[in-house]
Every structure is written in C-alpha cells, then in structure tokens.
A = this chain, B = another copy of it.
Amino acid sequence: MARASKREEIAQAALEQFRVRGFTATGISDITAAAGAPKGSFYNHFASKEESALEALSRYADGLRFDMLDTPGRPALERLRAHFEFLGADTVDNGFARGCLAGNLGAELADHSEEIRSAVQDGFQRWAMYIRQVLAEAQEAAELDAALDVEEAALFILSAWEGTLIAARAGKSAAPFDAFFRMVFDVLLR
C-alpha cells in the first residue's frame, strides 16, 4: 500500500513538473523532490523519465473533461464552447503559463522521441474525434452548416487551440483566446 501511494505521488509530481518546466528541463531530482521521495526511488516505479512522461500525458488527458463534450442537455456548440472555456481558464488562472501538456511535449519532443510523439498523436486523435462528434451532433440539430467537413474542422479547431495557448503564453494576454472564440464560434461554425 505504501509503495502504491509513493508511486502515485511520484507520478503526480512528474505531471506537475513537466507542465511547469517542460520535459528536458525537468530532472529526475525535480520530480522526486516535489514528491518528497529519495531520488533513487524514481526508478522503483518508472524505467525512465520518458516512461513517466507517457503516464503524465495519460493523466493530463483524464483532466481534459471530454465528458463535458458528450453530456446531453445543452446545444452541441454550447458544450464545445464550454469545453474550451474550461481549458482556457487553466492557463489564465496560471498567469498565462503552462498551456497544454500534449502540445508542449509535441512541440519539444515530436522529432526526438517516437514513443512520446505517438502518445501525443493518439491524444490529439482522440480529442479531435470528440470534437468531430459534437460538430456532427450540431449538424444533425441544424445548429451548423451541413456542408462543413466536420473531420477537417475538428482537426483544425484542435490545432488552432494548441497555437492559441502558445500565443497567449507568449503575450501573457487573453487576446489570442478572444480571437479563438470569435473566429471559431462566430465565423467558422456560424
């Protein structure tokens, strides 16, 4: 039991450190220090920093609240907007810092770690599928132009979101979020 709990603490600390520092800048000792564990204990639970990043990605995805997208009771496009407002609040509340772990690890490691690249891609695919389903529901409810290619739109909206987070962090500003919501909901999905 104690062992399982220490693994949990190290895994959570790794997620937090990767979000704050990025992958390469995070040392194993940053993770174990944040978890209040001896440095050597990291390798009792993870084979490598890369393995802990794969688990961090999975834990991060669990916090993206995809369930907000497929909970009925609100119009589909309202749910999509609420999803991105929820995600944006995390970056705003952190002083326009951190952004999206999947996008950050993708930008930093896609060219260098095949395992992390593949995990980021799987996460993007799953996320885009949820967005596509919401857009298809909006089309069925005649909330959205039936001619829109919802697969391409979903992929594009997700890419736009990832870039919006980088621009908001670079500018320490909400302007990129405002532009995202205006252009996606008032123009692209009008």
Contact = CB atoms under 8 A, between A and B. Distances in A.
B175 A107 contact: no
Contacts of A156: 160, 164, 176, 179-180, 182-184
A91 to B, nearest CB: 10
Interface string A115-133: 0010011001100000000
B170 A124 contact: yes
Interface stretch (A8-16, A29-37, A40-48, A98-106): A98-106
Contact of A170 (B106, B149, B187, B188): B106
Nearest to A109: B22
Interface string A6-26: 000000000000001110110
A99 to B, nearest CB: 7
A103 B166 contact: yes
A163 B103 contact: yes
A155 B167 contact: yes
A181 B31 CA distance: 41
A28 to B, nearest CB: 15
Interface residues of A, number: 50
Copies of this subunit: 2
A107 B107 contact: yes
Contacts of A187: 148, 153, 188
A149 B182 contact: yes
20 contacts: A24-B24, A103-B163, A106-B166, A106-B169, A110-B166, A110-B170, A117-B169, A121-B171, A121-B172, A124-B171, A125-B171, A152-B183, A156-B182, A159-B160, A159-B163, A159-B167, A160-B163, A162-B162, A162-B166, A188-B188
Given A125-B171, A155-B175, A161-B163, 8 more contacts: A22-B112, A110-B170, A111-B169, A124-B170, A152-B183, A153-B179, A156-B184, A162-B163
